[in-house]
Chain A
Amino acid sequence: MPVTDVQHDLDNLTLTITADFAAPVERIWQVYADPRQLEMVWGPPTYPATVVDHDLRPGGRVTYYMTGPEGDKHAGYWLVTAVDEPRSLSFDDGFADLDFNPRPELPVSRNVYTFTEHNGGTRATYVGNYESAEALQQVLDMGVVEGATLAINQIDAAVAS
């Protein structure tokens, strides 16, 4: 497992995950810069993602939807706030309607992804921050089926291994 560290900051409602990948920084950047690769990693197998718009420049938007097992679609968007290719990417991640209009009544998370060279590979640091516990709760409620399904799939994987 490439994850090397996880920090839960309950006071600031921030999740920080560090992962080491056996590939150069440019290769990890590509995963985010190429919409076809991004959609392969963004959604779990049960909720595959489809990236529609992809403008990875400050002020640009990335839009996507995820398709559930019943054909249900859930749309979201990134508003890109800062880009330092290939080292870091900052964006606000929010919910959208199926025409990709942001749903302002739903919470937005602030995300900073950083990629640095480490032992010939890449150390990736993912930081996500929520405004309030209520916002975090809401995000989880929206993605709760996905989360619960993932949890069950992990049990499946554990049983199979």
Chain B
Amino acid sequence: MGEESSDRADALFHALADRTRRDILRRVLAGEHSVSALAANYDMSFAAVQKHVAVLEKAGLLTKRRSGREQLASGDVAAVRSVASMLTELEQVWRGRIARIDRLITPDPDQED
């Protein structure tokens, strides 16, 4: 791995190593959100949320644009998937289904779902 891709991997894993940032990324992958709308979801200051958004942006996982006074953030789907090949991506969807079948057929009186 070259130094540049190592740096990129570091930024990627650093960005994804935080629960709030993963939650922000999930939201902006589903659609564009203003940073202030995002901030309303968390029990932290606007500035703190803005900082999380900046980390995601630096890692290339999120892009921002301005609309009037608002900053709008959206997830960069291509960046998130750049680590995986297409069949690997599909494999994950299938593995999810298989895991759910396994849970469904395994009796577990202690757990709902």
Flag B14-35 by CB within 8 Å of A: 1 or 0 each: 0010010010011101110000
Q: Please choose the segment from A16-24, A54-62, A80-88, A95-103 that sits at the chain B interface, where 4 or more of its residues have CB less than 8 A away.
A: A16-24
| Chain B interface category by residue count | 35 or more
Chosen A-B contacts, 28 in total, with CB atoms closer than 8 Å, are: A1-B95, A15-B87, A15-B90, A15-B91, A17-B95, A19-B101, A21-B102, A21-B105, A37-B104, A42-B97, A44-B93, A69-B26, A69-B27, A69-B30, A70-B31, A126-B94, A136-B86, A136-B87, A139-B90, A144-B89, A145-B77, A147-B89, A149-B30, A150-B92, A151-B81, A151-B84, A151-B92, A159-B19
Residues of B within 8 A of A148 (CB): 29, 75, 77, 80-81
What is the bound-complex CA distance between A10 and B25, given in angstroms? 30
CB distance from A120 to the nearest CB of B (A): 14
Main secondary structure of the interface of B (DSSP, over half): helix
Number of interface residues of A (CB under 8 A): 47
Name the 4 nearest CB pairs between A and B, nearest first: A41-B100, A148-B80, A8-B87, A23-B105
What is the bound-complex CA distance between A41 and B31, given in angstroms? 25
Q: Tell me if A151 and B80 are in contact (CB < 8 A).
A: yes
Known: A8-B91, A156-B22. 12 other contacts (CB 8 A): A3-B98, A15-B94, A28-B101, A68-B30, A128-B94, A140-B81, A140-B90, A144-B77, A145-B29, A147-B93, A148-B29, A151-B84
Chain A residue with Cβ nearest B107: A23
CB distance from A71 to the nearest CB of B (A): 10
Flag A136-161 by CB within 8 Å of B: 1 or 0 each: 11011001111111111011100100
Residues of A within 8 A of B97 (CB): 41-42
Task: Please judge, given known A-B contacts A6-B91, A44-B96, A149-B26, whether A31 and B16 are in contact too, CB under 8 Å.
Answer: no
Q: Tell me if B26 and A22 are in contact (CB < 8 A).
A: no
CB distance from A54 to the nearest CB of B (A): 17
Chain B residue with Cβ nearest A1: B99
What is the bound-complex CA distance between A128 and B90, given in angstroms? 10
